[in-house]
Amino acid sequence: MPYQEKKRKPIRRDFTPAGAEGAVVGRNAVRELLKSGRDVDKIFVQRGEREGSITLLVAEAFERKIPVVEVEKPKLDMLSGGGNHQGIVAMAAQKTYSSIDEILEIAEARGEKPFLLILDGVEDPHNLGAIIRSADVFGVHGVIIPKRRASGVTAAVEKASAGALEHMAIAKVT
């Protein structure tokens, strides 16, 4: 029988895991969520995954009296929409959008000239998360995104930003 190459499915760049509303997925994203002080309803940890940074995250959750629930991997897969959850998913209130005036107030409070990042047409949530992560590093006071034809703040954006989303003001405008 001659060698036959397997046909591979094309990679879908437009795929965004659905996940649960308000899910914060992955170790870095959950760490930054806990640092931000945003309300956390519950943290789900994969059964048997009490190693490394998850131990610290669970300890901090216990300290803040946040319920920690051990679940099987399929439950985390469902909550994360099939994304790479790294054994932990937190359920939190959705990040609220800021107004442009609030972003300008952040700059004024720091005694700096406003440094805004205005994005147009960034449809891939992974790209938006990476941009927010870079903006945080460079000291941007806030990111402005359009309401239409662009990615909003989703669990995929939170994960791709590696938690930087928790420290960045985001305004959504027409």
Q: Which residues, other chains included, contact 48 with Cβ-Cβ below 8 Å and sequence gap of 6+?
A: none
- The continuous run of DSSP H or E covering 126 comes out as helix 125-137
Question: What is the average pLDDT across 115-132?
Answer: 92
Q: How far apart are CA 16 and CA 82, in angstroms?
A: 9
Burial-class residue 126 by CB neighbours within 10 Å (0-12, 13-18, 19+): middle
Q: How far is CA 102 from CA 69, 105, 161, in A?
A: 36, 5, 21
Percentage of the chain exceeding pLDDT 90: 31
HSE-CB of 112 using CA atoms within 13 angstroms: 12
**Which of the four pLDDT bands, split at 50, 70 and 90, describes residue 3?**
low
Give the 3-state secondary structure of 8-54.
CCCCCCCCCCCCCCCEEECHHHHHHHHHHCCCEEEEEEECCCCCCHH
**Which of the four pLDDT bands, split at 50, 70 and 90, describes residue 9?**
very low
Q: How many CB atoms lie within 10 A of CB 127?
A: 15
Question: What is the average pLDDT across 128-145?
Answer: 94
Q: How far apart are CA 34 and CA 47, in angstroms?
A: 21
Q: How far apart are CA 68 and CA 55, in angstroms?
A: 11
At 83-100, the pLDDT tens digits run: 788 889 998 877 788 999
At 36-83, the pLDDT tens digits run: 877 888 999 988 767 778 889 999 999 988 999 999 988 888 888 777
Percentage of the chain exceeding pLDDT 70: 87
Question: What is the average pLDDT across 151-172?
Answer: 84
Name the token pair of 161: 């930003």
| Predicted pLDDT of residue 2 | 59
Looking at per-residue confidence, does 124 or 154 come out higher?
124
Q: How far apart are CA 168 and CA 174, in angstroms?
A: 20
Q: How far is CA 114 from CA 124, 136, 154, in A?
A: 26, 14, 26
| Predicted pLDDT of residue 5 | 56
- The continuous run of DSSP H or E covering 116 comes out as strand 116-118
